[in-house]
């Protein structure tokens, strides 16, 4: 039985590499047009060639989001664009508009079509309809439950991909235009300004804070159940998230998935990964509709602050085996004596106490104070390129 | 252009005598509609008013547990005088094809009815009507009309729906704030822009409407020139005298009278918010 896929978001080439090196089986990316994260850096067609080459050399895949709700003006050039990105080596398209499905299925039968959660597919009948249209995989509405997902898989045989981690919408995907009306930014074409996170007066009461904001999603404790019902892919949200966030989230889910298949998953391990995931989040999390109808416990009301996270200390560029010195680029302030750990793309984690910190010319520093400053630190353990140093979990 | 009314109560069918087309929400299967009826009541109504075209709305996100009831309901609708179904979920189209039902379908995915290619996709699947998005420009609407054979429903005036959630947002707020607020409609106001919205909750979820009436009537000349098929009047939250007077005015314009002579009165009655008719939304924030 093949392992469930871990699918991660890549807003640019650096994020793509981090995701794949840290254990994602596939990444989803956006082009510079037609994707629902219009303000991420995204990929040009020539960058997609490099992205696909990098992923395919690792035996991994790249999916391209093409999931805007098209307006007339977006149609011009779309077919040529699809032709070009197929040549770039894209493994699948994630789409929502059905006319795009028809074109890809007809012209590129070997390239998979995945239907985006933007289409809010939520039942067996719709899945069968899309299967008949040639769709290989569906990312259903995030409003459906474990039981409903299981029933869809059993009755349709279509590959199902579900979101397991990250920000959630308050409203059904595709059914929200708050952003259009309040900020003139088109939510269904990637311009969402997250009006659902604003505070409102209700019934003319000046001091009332009516909010609709949701907590983030975290399914870490349900991965075994999700594997058991036959879900094909686990998706992490966040094409605009930092590399540290992505490395941590991907690495934790990689470990949890592998432990599920090895029968080594314990409550202690889950507690550890849950804590690690919590350290990179700036919001509380819940399971939303997965195990019960979402209610007030899945939302935020008053008094919430989004705290910036300063646990990410540095990224490792290289390791000098002979002198046992790693070269890093600083991200947040730290000083000698800090209890740190290094997470590596291979999944290894090394804990240590920082002794001396040197600058690039090996002058001793009293602290690492400047983001992106090149630093050197002695450590008697071979550290992999792209490893990340953080405060010990 | 034919007028279509979204009534706010059953009696509206007798009250607005010149209207021949109605859109009515189905209890437990329609979202964003204030006035809904049990499907059997609507079927009876369609027999009682056999000279009128009654369309029903099935626009909730269909869940597995809804499918059996939906299928039976569609069979019943197919055997009734109901003219057609405004549908959101593809399950409706799938059931129609699978059971070879003759009932007309109106593609009614709200904010997603935004281009002629997708209209043509649905037309090729046997869907003869589409209710066009309220968030596109008049120019885009005209382009869709010119490039698709599908017949178009377009909002003429009414409070536009902005968003729908499965979450019970008023109930949740009520619990969290220890305030026993009613789930009926409330006004919420953005604290920065002071823009107002209407929020309401029912057993299916929560809907939010924009707080100003969208007035597309002032663009009716262009719509008529381009053979728009159906103009929708959504009467929810608007008083019946206003609706009656607006219907009279639009009837006269449809008979050839000059819009300009009614313009001031129209604005007095429903305001001049043209919504997105002449305002394109942006979706890429320019980088510095």
What are the structural domains of chain B? 2-159+213-270 (3.20.20.70), 162-211 (no CATH)
Q: In the numeric block, which tokens belong to residue B73? A: 């309901």
Task: Kindly indicate the confidence band of residue A40, based on its pLDDT and cuts at 50, 70 and 90.
Answer: low
Q: Which residues of B touch A199 (CB under 8 A)?
A: 191
Binning chain A into helix, strand and coil, the percentages to the nearest 5 are 35, 25, 40
Q: Which residues of A touch B196 (CB under 8 A)?
A: none
Q: Note whether A123 contacts B91, CB cutoff 8 Å.
A: yes
DSSP string covering B87-144: E-SHHHHHHHHHHT---EEEE--GGG---HHHHHHHHHTT--EEE--TTS-HHHHHHH
Residue A124: predicted pLDDT: 98
pLDDT in tens, A144-198: 999 999 999 999 999 999 999 999 999 999 999 999 999 999 999 988 988 998 9
Please tell me if residue B182 touches chain A, with a CB cutoff of 8 Å. no
Question: In percent, how much of chain A has pLDDT > 90?
Answer: 85
Please tell me if residue B281 touches chain A, with a CB cutoff of 8 Å. yes
Chain B residues 108-147 with CB within 8 Å of chain A: 109-112, 114-118, 120-122, 135-136, 140, 143-144, 147
Å from A368 to nearest chain B CA?
30
CB-based contacts of A106, cutoff 8 Å, min separation 6 = none
Please check whether residue A158 is in contact with residue A135, taking contact to mean a CB–CB distance below 8 angstroms: yes
pLDDT in tens, B181-232: 776 789 999 988 899 999 999 999 999 999 999 999 999 999 999 999 999 9
Q: Which residues of A touch B168 (CB under 8 A)?
A: 295
Q: Note whether A176 contacts B163, CB cutoff 8 Å.
A: yes
Q: In the numeric block, which tokens belong to residue A300? A: 């935020």
List the one residue out of B112, B101, B128, B10 whose CA is nearest residue B61.
Answer: B112
Q: Note whether A191 contacts B285, CB cutoff 8 Å.
A: yes
Q: Which residues of A touch B193 (CB under 8 A)?
A: 182
Question: What residue in B sits closest to A149 (Cα-Cα)?
Answer: B64
Q: Note whether A124 contacts B166, CB cutoff 8 Å.
A: no
Burial of A383 (0-12, 13-18, 19+ CB in 10 A): buried
Domains, chain A:
5-298 (3.20.20.70), 312-391 (2.40.30.10)
Sheet containing strand A312-320, strands side by side: A349-353, A339-343, A388-391, A312-320, A325-330, A374-378, A357-359, A364-365
Q: Rounded distance, CA A289 to CA A360, Å? A: 50
Q: In the numeric block, which tokens belong to residue A384? A: 């992999």
Task: Kindly indicate the confidence band of residue B287, based on its pLDDT and cuts at 50, 70 and 90.
Answer: very low
Residue at token pair 């707080």 = B211
Q: How much is the average pLDDT of B80-105? A: 98
Q: Which residues of B touch A180 (CB under 8 A)?
A: 111, 135, 162, 276, 281
pLDDT in tens, A52-101: 999 999 999 999 999 999 999 999 999 999 999 999 999 999 999 999 99
**Residue A136 reports pLDDT greater than 80:** yes
Q: Which residues of A touch B89 (CB under 8 A)?
A: 122-123, 126
Å from B93 to nearest chain A CA?
9
Question: What residue in B sits closest to A67 (Cα-Cα)?
Answer: B112
Residue A59: predicted pLDDT: 98
Lowest mean pLDDT of A180-184, A254-258, B82-86, B264-268, name the range: A180-184
Please tell me if residue B219 touches chain A, with a CB cutoff of 8 Å. no
From the list A69, A125, A198, the residue facing B190 with the nearest CB is A198
Angle between helices A243-262 and A13-21 (to 10 degrees): 30
Mean pLDDT of chain B: 95
pLDDT in tens, A366-392: 999 999 999 999 999 999 999 999 999
CA dihedral for A152, A153, A159, A163, sign (positive or negative): positive
Question: What residue in B sits closest to A153 (Cα-Cα)?
Answer: B64
Residue A240: predicted pLDDT: 84
Q: Note whether A71 contacts B208, CB cutoff 8 Å.
A: no
pLDDT in tens, A192-238: 988 998 989 998 776 778 899 999 999 999 999 999 999 999 999 99
Residue B180: predicted pLDDT: 78
DSSP string covering A63-114: EEEE-S---HHHHTTHHHHHHHHHHHT--EEEE-SHHHHHHHHHH-TTSEEE
Å from B187 to nearest chain A CA?
5
Sheet containing strand B161-165, strands side by side: A205-211, A199-202, B186-190, B196-201, B206-210, B161-165
For residues A72-110, b (16+ Cβ closer than 10 Å) or e, as one string? Answer: bebbeebeebbebbbebbbbbbbbbbbbbbbbbbeeeee
Q: Rounded distance, CA B271 to CA B216, Å? A: 10
């Amino acid at each position: 039985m093949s392992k469930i896929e871990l699918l991660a978001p890549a807003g640019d080439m650096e994020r793509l590499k981090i995701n794949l090196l840290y254990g994602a089986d596939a990444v989803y990316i956006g082009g510079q047009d037609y994707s629902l994260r219009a303000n991420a850096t995204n990929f040009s067609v020539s960058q997609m060639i490099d992205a696909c080459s990098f992923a395919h050399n690792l035996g991994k895949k790249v999916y391209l989001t093409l999931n805007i709700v098209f307006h007339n003006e977006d149609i011009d050039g779309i077919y040529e664009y699809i032709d070009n990105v197929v040549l770039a080596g894209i493994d699948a398209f994630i789409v929502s508009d059905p006319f795009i499905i028809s074109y890809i299925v007809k012209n590129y039968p070997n390239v998979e079509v995945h239907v985006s959660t933007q289409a809010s597919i939520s039942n067996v009948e719709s899945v069968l309809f899309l299967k008949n249209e040639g769709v290989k995989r569906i990312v259903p509405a995030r409003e459906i439950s474990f039981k409903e997902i299981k029933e869809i898989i059993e009755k349709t045989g279509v590959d199902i991909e579900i979101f397991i981690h990250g920000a959630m919408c308050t409203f059904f995907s595709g059914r929200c235009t708050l952003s259009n009306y309040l900020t003139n930014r088109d939510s269904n074409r990637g311009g969402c300004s997250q009006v659902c996170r604003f505070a409102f007066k209700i019934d003319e009461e000046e001091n009332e804070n009516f909010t609709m904001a949701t907590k983030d999603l975290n399914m870490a404790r349900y991965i075994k159940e999700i594997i058991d019902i036959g879900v094909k892919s686990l998706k992490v949200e966040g094409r605009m998230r930092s590399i540290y966030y992505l490395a941590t989230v991907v690495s934790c889910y990689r470990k949890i998935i592998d432990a599920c298949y090895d029968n080594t998953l314990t409550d202690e391990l889950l507690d550890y990964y849950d804590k690690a995931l919590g350290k990179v989040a700036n919001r509380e999390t819940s399971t939303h509709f997965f195990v019960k109808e979402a209610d007030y416990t899945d939302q935020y009301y008053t008094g919430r602050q989004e705290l910036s996270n300063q646990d990410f200390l540095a990224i490792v560029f290289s390791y000098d085996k002979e002198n046992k010195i790693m070269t890093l680029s600083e991200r947040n302030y730290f000083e000698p004596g800090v209890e740190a750990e290094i997470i590596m793309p291979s999944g290894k984690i090394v804990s240590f106490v920082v002794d001396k910190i040197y600058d690039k010319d090996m002058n001793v520093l009293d602290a690492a104070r400047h983001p992106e400053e090149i630093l050197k630190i002695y450590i008697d353990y071979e550290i992999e390129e792209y490893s990340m140093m953080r405060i010990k979990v | 252009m034919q007028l279509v009314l979204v009534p706010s109560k059953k009696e509206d069918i007798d009250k607005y005598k010149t209207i021949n087309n109605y859109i009515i929400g189905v209890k437990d299967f329609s979202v964003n509609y204030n006035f809904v009826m049990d499907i059997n009541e609507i079927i009876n109504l369609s027999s009682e008013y056999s000279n009128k075209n009654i369309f029903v709305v099935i626009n909730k996100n269909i869940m597995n547990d809804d499918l059996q009831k939906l299928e039976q309901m569609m069979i019943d609708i197919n055997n009734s005088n109901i003219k057609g179904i405004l549908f959101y979920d593809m399950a409706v189209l799938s059931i129609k094809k699978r059971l070879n039902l003759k009932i007309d379908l109106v593609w009614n995915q709200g904010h997603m009815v935004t281009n002629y290619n997708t209209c043509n996709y649905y037309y090729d699947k046997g869907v003869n009507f589409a209710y066009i998005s309220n968030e596109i420009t008049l120019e885009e609407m005209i382009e869709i009309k010119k490039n698709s054979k599908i017949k178009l429903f377009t909002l003429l005036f009414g409070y536009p729906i902005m968003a729908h959630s499965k979450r019970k947002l008023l109930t949740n707020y009520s619990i969290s704030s220890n305030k026993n607020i009613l789930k009926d409609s409330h006004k919420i106001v953005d604290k920065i822009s002071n823009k107002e919205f209407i929020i309401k909750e029912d057993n299916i979820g929560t809907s939010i409407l924009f707080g100003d009436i969208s007035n597309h009537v002032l663009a009716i000349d262009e719509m008529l020139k381009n053979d728009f098929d159906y103009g929708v009047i959504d009467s929810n939250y608007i008083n019946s005298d206003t609706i009656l007077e607006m219907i009279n005015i639009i009837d006269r314009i449809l008979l050839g009278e000059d819009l300009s002579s009614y313009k001031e009165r129209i604005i007095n009655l429903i305001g001049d918010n043209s919504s997105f008719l002449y305002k394109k939304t942006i979706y890429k924030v320019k980088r510095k």
